[in-house]
Structure 1
Amino acid sequence: MKKEMDQITKWAVELQSIAQDGIEYGHDRFDRERYEQVRKIATEMMAAKTGQPINIVKGLFSNDDGYQTPKVSTRAAIFNKEKILLVKESTDNLWSMPGGWCEPNITVKENCMKEAAEESGHKIEVDQIIAVTNHSTNIYDKERIERAINVCNVIFLCKDLGGKFSQNTETDKCSFFEFDNLPPLSLPRNSLAEIKMCFEANQNPNWQTKFE
């Protein structure tokens, strides 16, 4: 079940959104300065709520320009028979499907293939969209699922075409896992329910895309 934001988080998110829109569309210099101050207060509220350093919160929570919209990310559910490929994230030493933020000048399919190659070293064939889910950028502790910023997460069913892992700045290793032998998951990136859904899609030739 989806967790609801607490009231302080809701206020901070609303203030950040109002401030960002005002900075983008305001015509008066003094008004824009006031909106910048509102954004600063919203960031400080979120930092106080989460206990995270202000610079981390600012980078994740209030570093956008223009009208505030959800971010878009992709995840590649790469299967070799009944096993899924996961990568070990360098930031938290936990495991996830390869993926990341969508680049501005490529399609979501191309982004899925690019992220898979960069993080796992494997080439893939993208078959279909398993699901489009709502996530959000993590500024909570390791158990957080509640998010302050909405993320539109596109999960693709992919076929493994082979490859070899190379050390990189984002991941430390990759491996294939059966569902009953999964490693500890990086919850901001993918949940157990999402991994389970990917296994179900891989086993169902008539899978219908899920969306929220």
Structure 2
Amino acid sequence: MPTFVQIIEFFGTFAFAISGIRLASAKQFDWFGAYVVGLVTAIGGGTIRDVLLDVTPFWMTNPVYLICSALALFWVVVFGKQLVHLHNTFFIFDSIGLALFTVVGVEKTIALGFPFWVAIVMGSITGAAGGVIRDIFINEIPLIFRKEIYAMACIVGGLVFWGCSFMNLDSMLIQCISGFSVFLTRILAVKYNICLPKLKGE
């Protein structure tokens, strides 16, 4: 039976893959190109995390992540017209993927015995790095470098995870609260146009 963290990872893979495939379809990629964009969106951050943590990348030990990305492509192909009319589809799926993968990154890093500050960094990489690769593939300025709160939402989630751990809450509850904090931070930041100050040149 898959663990709760694995279930989160599966849902995160599906959500992130859909967000990448939706953007690829807007650029009129073919099916293979869209699949590649969705796949790197889903596994890019986790791959970088695992390489830095000196473990085998998660998708190399279980093909289900590649299958999840293929199912996401099938979902977009079948329900593409409906998804196009839902203007916030990309944002919602991207925010869900961001939240779920941040939790997975923090949890895995802690399980490997690293300190919390490393876990927060790895959670942010897991959540945000796939989106950076996606945006490079579709020739866009990565969302993480624009004015929107993105990676900072991952850091908030990591800090919430750390705070809840001190309260000795149930691990599943900690994961849910942490993930929700990432999602809520992202939603509120966009809704109320909250952003970090820009660095101005000469």
TM-score where L is the length of structure 1: 0.25
Higher strand residue share: 1
Higher helix residue share: 2
Bigger Rg, structure 1 or 2? 1
TM-score where L is the length of structure 2: 0.26
